[in-house]
Amino acid sequence: MRPLWRRLLLLGMVLLVILLLLFGLQWLMNARSFQLFGGITNHVETGDKVVALTFDDGPSGNVEPILQLLSKYDAKATFFVIGSELKSRMEEGRMIVRAGHQLGNHSYSHERILFKSRAYVEREVEQTNDLIREAGYLGEIDFRPPYGKKIYSLPHYLHEQGIQTIMWDLEPDTFYATAQEKIKAAVEGAHPGSIILLHPMYDKTGQELQVIEGILDGLTRQGYRFLTVNELQKQ
């Protein structure tokens, strides 16, 4: 029988390996610029003063005022929509397309796609892609993982289908509470090729609309143009 100190040492080593594996999985799950398969983009290297404004979730009744703001600043944006929401609000999806913006896939159910079967991943992606086509969008459909989470099955499926994973490098909604703080973070933090993430779809306070206009105004004054993600990737 091994001495007690050797058993404790072995146990400690096993626990260390487990902790390192868990840390690695956590990092991989949340990484914005790396995944095991396929293309992933959280910003674009460019010398031009262009950025992509992206909106997650919905569509909702907030689509129309968002489109009005974008039109006011001659800006294009990318809307990563949830399939189940688009199915029930198809007209809002069509409004986005008619206005010349990009529709992206944010899954059908907005559940975390971690440790899921291939069949599950396929349903989440393809049901939403079909609805995006039904809304009239003809361009390349990119995918943004719900909550930004992905490990193996989702990136593997997207890679097989030639679908790009789109993340972000600025997320003012996550780290700041007030509209002015969010605007300041985005306007001061943006650089050529940035992808900005916002969540205005379910806001009932009007704060997110204020944030959108503040970002549009602030970056326009700095000489930036707002492109869709697909347009930004062609820079």
Q: What is the CATH number of the domain that holds 215?
A: 3.20.20.370
In a domain, residue 96? The reply is: yes
- Kindly state whether residue 5 falls inside one of the protein's structural domains: no
Residues with Cβ within 8 Å of 1's Cβ and at least 6 positions away in sequence, in order, are: none
Taking only the tens place, the pLDDT of each residue in 20-79 is 776 667 777 888 898 999 999 999 999 999 999 999 999 999 999 999 999 999 999 999
Q: Into how many domains does the chain fold?
A: 1
Residue type, 119: A
pLDDT in tens, 144-201: 999 999 999 999 999 999 999 999 999 999 899 999 999 999 999 999 999 999 999 9
What is residue 87's DSSP assignment? H
The alpha carbon of residue 228 and the mean position of all alpha carbons in its chain are separated, in whole angstroms, by 13
Q: Would 227 be classed as within a structural domain?
A: yes
Q: Is position 16 within any domain?
A: no
Inside any domain, residue 45: yes
Adjacent-strand bridge partners of 43: 194
The boundaries of the domain holding residue 176 are 40-233
Q: Is residue 151 part of a domain?
A: yes
What pTM did the predictor assign? 0.91
Whether 228 is in a domain gets the answer yes
Considering the domain boundaries, does residue 34 fall inside one?
no
Cis ω before 155 (30° cut-off from 0):
no
Q: Are 59 and 85 in contact (CB under 8 A)?
A: yes
